[in-house]
Structure 1
Amino acid sequence: MINNKSRYTNFIKTEAKRLGFLSCGISKAGFLEEDAPRLENWLNQNQHGKMDYMADYFDKRLDPTLLVDDAKSVISLLLNYYPSELQNEASYKISKYAYGKDYHNIIRKKVVKLLKSIKREIGEVNGRAFVDFAPVMEKSWAAKSGLGWIGKNSNLITKQVGSFYFVAELIIELELEYDYATTDHCGTCTACIDACPTQAIVAPYVVDGSKCISYFTIELKENIPAEMKGKLDDWMFGCDVCQDVCPWNKFSKPHKEPLFSPYPELLSYNKKDWEEITEETFSKVFTNSPLKRTQLEGLKRNIDFLK
């Protein structure tokens, strides 16, 4: 006879797959002991740069029971975003995750649907969906639940899948069957470390966020430091270098989420198109795009720095 924990766990994983998630893993909610000293050291070294929010809610970031009352389980979910088409090579570069519509609401709606399905199947269960904005260690929980390992470039990497996917969590008060962490398969490879244009991967598994191209082109609101001139490799929004060179990403396959389909203009634009784009065109063409995060003013700042 199948016990309730097993039945609930099987239902959740089956439902996650039906909703389009790449994979689903489950961990017991609790304090992330191994992550605490690493996070503290990373913050003390100021490797979060001007991302002050990374230092907020330190305890909540490490303990999901402080985010959801009586939390028992952390359900980690992966959603593929690898595109079937890439940008025009004569363009300024944009990270692949930003090719389509903004992922936050798309994924959140899927996670909320999963929670609603759980409530319909099991009964009233307290839970919260988390997609990137809240103080949750997404990659740590996904690794803890066996969905991959955190590589030398600090990304979650999965065998036969790679790393081009979003990570989300559903924290609930339901006890379930728990998965186990997988092993590290980076081996002696240093491709990501060697390829990083700004040497942001300062040691295996340690990324100095304040040196990352994604930080300079998205997070940093001030002028990009002059010493970075000539080092941004034509990236105007984000950076995929450490993922592009990762051998495991040769297994990446195109996503099947229509809302992640690239904006046609994003694929066809060349450098001149981006240099001449107006506010009116940008607002009209890139509705609900992640590019709105920097606004056109931020993109123009990045482009001017790249010239």
Structure 2
Amino acid sequence: MQLPSQRYAALIKKQAQELGFAYCGIAKADFLEEEAPKLEAWLNQNYHGQMAYMANHFDKRLDPRLLVDGAKTVISLVYNYYPESRLPEGPEDLKIAKYAYGQDYHHVIKDKLKLFLENLKAAIGEINGRAFVDSAPVMERQWAQKSGIGWLGKNSLLLTRNMGSFFFLAELIIDLEVAPDPPMVKDFCGTCTRCIDACPTDAIVGDGVIDASRCISYFTIELKDSLPDSFKGTFGNWIFGCDICQDVCPWNRFSKPHQEPKFLPSEGLKELKLQDWLELTEETFNKVFPKSAVKRTKLKGLKRNIDFCSED
């Protein structure tokens, strides 16, 4: 006879599939004991750079029960963003990370999570829970590994055997007891070091450890100051984010194109040439990136990145 917690797990996974999530993993909401010393060491090394928010809410990052009263379950979800075709990536083309081709994923996925929670309440009854999409102190990759979805690669990203790593992670933390999945304990990276070897700024400083203050994504998105001259010539024309460590990962040969229309690039973005980037105006910026994550840098930040990559 199936226990209620098992029925809930089956219901949740069916709902996740219907909403377009590629994977759904379930873990018991508990203190991430193994991660506590790792997080503390990472912060003590100042690998978070100017991302002061990473040092905030230390306890909440490690214990979801501090985020949701009575939390019993963490539901981890995967949403694909791998594009069917890439934007031009020639030697002179300026590049943005593939996750930013379309609309801001925070809004697209958050809407799905709200519907997810509503559907669960309609099917099960009153549930207290919160939805998270990369915008709160949740160690999403660790929870996804704990729920059996994948393992943490040397580039610190979550990897799966069937679709690599070009996907977003999201979570529902709820006060309902749901049968958990077994964690992923095997590491399928083996002796491969392609991501480490390919990183032009040497940001991967250990197995699964990133010095974010050296990462191109950090420089082009998080850093608000001037870009350091010592890194000039290392960005490879990446002006918003960076996909290098993912592009070289052998597991990403299994990436499949997403089916989300909202992640398709605007016609204006596809048409931008080098000169258009160099002459980017506020009007064009707003037209090309109307609902995009690229707006996070604002026009001023994007132009700073463009100038840095374009200077001789």
SS of the residue corresponding to residue 294 of structure 1 reads helix
Distance (whole Å) between structure 2 residues aligned to residue 141 and residue 267 of structure 1? 35
Over residues 109-161 of structure 1, what are the superposed CA-to-partner deviations in whole Å (9 max), with x where a residue is unaligned?
Answer: 11111111110000001000011110000100001000100100000000011
Question: Does 2:263 match 1:263?
Answer: no
The separation in 2 between residues aligned to 1:180 and 1:274, in whole angstroms, is: 47
Q: Which runs of 4+ in 1 moved over 4 A?
A: none
CA apart distance, 1:89: 2.5
Q: 1:195 aligns with which of 193, 198, 202?
A: 198
8 A Cα contact 1:138 1:169, kept in partner? yes
| 1:95 corresponds to | 97
TM-score (norm 2): 0.97
Q: d(CA) in 1 for partners of 2:271 and 2:183?
A: 41
| Cα deviation code 1:189-223 (max 9, x no counterpart) | 00000000100001121110000000000000000
Aligned to 2:152: 150
The one-letter amino acid of 1:25's match is G
Question: What is the CA–CA distance in structure 2 between the aligned matches of 1:192 and 1:124, rounded to whole Å?
Answer: 45
**Equivalent in the alignment of 1:236:** 239
Is the CA contact (8 Å cut-off) linking 1:88 and 1:268 kept in structure 2? no
Question: Which residue of structure 2 lines up, in the alignment, with residue 70 of structure 1?
Answer: 70
Q: Distance in 1 between matches of 2:37 and 2:267?
A: 44
**CA–CA distance in structure 1, aligned partners of residues 249 and 289 of structure 2:** 30
Matches within 5 A, 1:38-187: 38-90=38-90, 91-182=93-184, 183-187=186-190
- Alpha-carbon distance between aligned partners in 2 of 1:170 and 1:141, rounded to the nearest angstrom: 11
The question of whether the paired residues in 1 share the 8 Å contact of 2:221 and 2:296 is answered with yes
State the 1:88 CA deviation: 1.5
String of CA shifts for 1:52-82, please: whole Å, max 9, x gaps. Answer: 0000000001000000000000000000000
The match for 1:301 is 304
Amino acid at match of 1:285: V
- The residue identity in structure 2 corresponding to 1:201 is I
Q: CA RMSD in A?
A: 0.8
Structure 1 residue 267: deviation in Å? 2.4
In structure 2, list runs of 5 or more residues that go unmatched. none
Give per-residue Cα distances to partners, 1:205-253, cap 9 Å, x unaligned.
1110000000000000000111000111110000000000000000000
- TM-score, with length taken from structure 1: 0.99
Supply the distance in 1 between the matched residues of 2:89 and 2:166 (Cα, whole angstroms).
Answer: 20
**Aligned to 1:41, what secondary structure does the other structure show?**
helix
The alignment covers a number of residue pairs equal to 307
Give the drift of 1:170. Answer: 0.2
Unaligned runs of 5+ in 1: none
